[in-house]
Amino acid sequence: MLRRAFVATPLMMLGACVSLAPEAEIPEAAAQIPLAYQPDTPAGEYRPAAWWAGFNDPVLNSLVDTALSDNFDITQAAARAQRASAQARLSRAALLPTLDATAGSSYSDTPVAGGALANFPGAPSRITNESYTLGLAAAYELDLFGRVRNDLGAARADAIASEYDLRAVRLATAAEVISAYFDIVDARFQIATTLQNIDVLAERTDRTEDRYLRGLSQSFELYQVREQARSLEASLPSREIALSNAEGRLAVLLADYPDTLATTLDQPLLPQLGFDPVPAGLPVDLLAQRPDVAAAWERLEAARLRIGARRAERFPALRLTASTGTQGASPAGVFDVGQNWLLQLGSNLVAPIFNGGRVSANVAAARATYDEASAAYGKAVLGAYQEVTTAIEAYEEQRQRYTLITAQAEEARSTLDLQARRFQSGIGDYVGYLDTLRSSYQVESSLSAAARDVALARLGVHRALGGDWFAEGTGTAQPDIEEDMGE
């Protein structure tokens, strides 16, 4: 046994060193990522954690928290991550020896007739045999060429990728909740403004009809006012449908029904907008910040390691077995270890000679999977950079648009105030005041839509930059798969 140990030790050391996986390479798309975004972005470290709290809206904060705990997509992604972690533990088991406890018994009662003992004088007519065994059996495969270790590394990379997928789903869910919430806020304001405009136009129509009957206005003015009133009334159902759709989207995200959600939303929704720039950091930060990019990298790493595992199948595999225990003719004899102990040692070297091209095909398939994963990673990197660039530019444009409409709204309020004072002084007419009021409502409606667009544009920047929205810091740390695997 000592001699066998000296033989096995260098083989195990060889198994710890040899790996047939290709060297890890940084794909060209990641190696050539630009040093800065275009257009230029504000300098500073990107800190995405719970950024929506800046809206100072407790209703929004509560909705996001509920979605992160109850959303079905997150539940599914978490289950997939747990399954991938379990599969990694399963791959790890192949790297360790197996030890099984055995216990058995056998009884036989066979005739002597027709056998070799039948011709001996005094031979019994039947032979009975009773045996009991108790023992341990161990087996271990020396990973000489890294097949098991490469499969284990690939499984771990897949598990990490699943954790990043979970982060991506959480990020997307939070983003969709925020988007639906601002759609609800704007839809409510649009409906309220439309109803106010309908009332103004109804009064304007009555005034125009009276003026027409008195011969103070022509028919085309009356027809025009009536057409505007009908058009505005016709727009109300579409706005109510938009509100219902937004509430339904939000309910699904929260794993709830709209009727149940109505209690939460039956209160003033007053998010406060923020217009400060978002420091985007450096483009290279996307490689770790964006969970989809990080997941693509881990799947690329898994594909690389599987090439090594499939290559190792071309070479011999050495399996060691050992069993020990006791055997007796009665149950009591099993426990007579001093007399009835047994020991069996064995080794088995298996090398492939002909398998119909299976091994070569597996290597080719693994290489093709690696090429596919490399292309997917390059696409993810380019897509991430493009999304950030577009989102930053869109946010800047929406901020400028909101500023312009805000100035327009201030002018409309001033005009309305002047028209009201003119009417009260007897200088202006009431019809002119109604027209000015209606124009003011229209500008306020545009301002509400612009506010929603600013919020969604800011959401787009944070979503494009990625990161961990749910804890302090940038969220660039790799998920801890080892802890879940018990190592």
Condensed to tens digits (0 to 9), the pLDDT of residues 189-246 reads 999 999 998 888 888 888 777 776 777 666 767 777 788 788 888 989 999 999 999 9
Looking at residue 238, what is its pLDDT? 94
146 versus 228: which is more confidently predicted? 146
Looking at residue 487, what is its pLDDT? 42
Average pLDDT over every residue of 83-87: 94
- pLDDT 10s digits, 11-45: 344 444 468 999 988 888 888 999 888 877 777 88
Confidence category of residue 355, pLDDT binned at 50, 70, 90 = confident
Confidence category of residue 414, pLDDT binned at 50, 70, 90 = very high
Return phi, psi of residue 103, to 5°: -150, 135
- pLDDT 10s digits, 430-486: 778 888 888 999 999 999 999 999 999 999 999 999 988 886 433 444 555 554 444
Residue 351 Ramachandran class (φ > 0 left, ψ -120 to 50 alpha, else beta): beta
Q: Which CATH superfamily is domain 9-96+145-217+247-316+360-484 in?
A: Outer membrane efflux proteins (OEP) (1.20.1600.10)
- pLDDT 10s digits, 282-318: 899 899 899 999 999 999 999 999 999 999 999 999 9
Looking at residue 13, what is its pLDDT? 42
**Contact yes or no for 301/143 (Cβ under 8 A):** no
Tell whether pTM > 0.75.
yes
235-238's contacts with Cβ under 8 Å and 24+ in sequence apart are 235/194, 236/191, 236/194, 236/195, 236/198
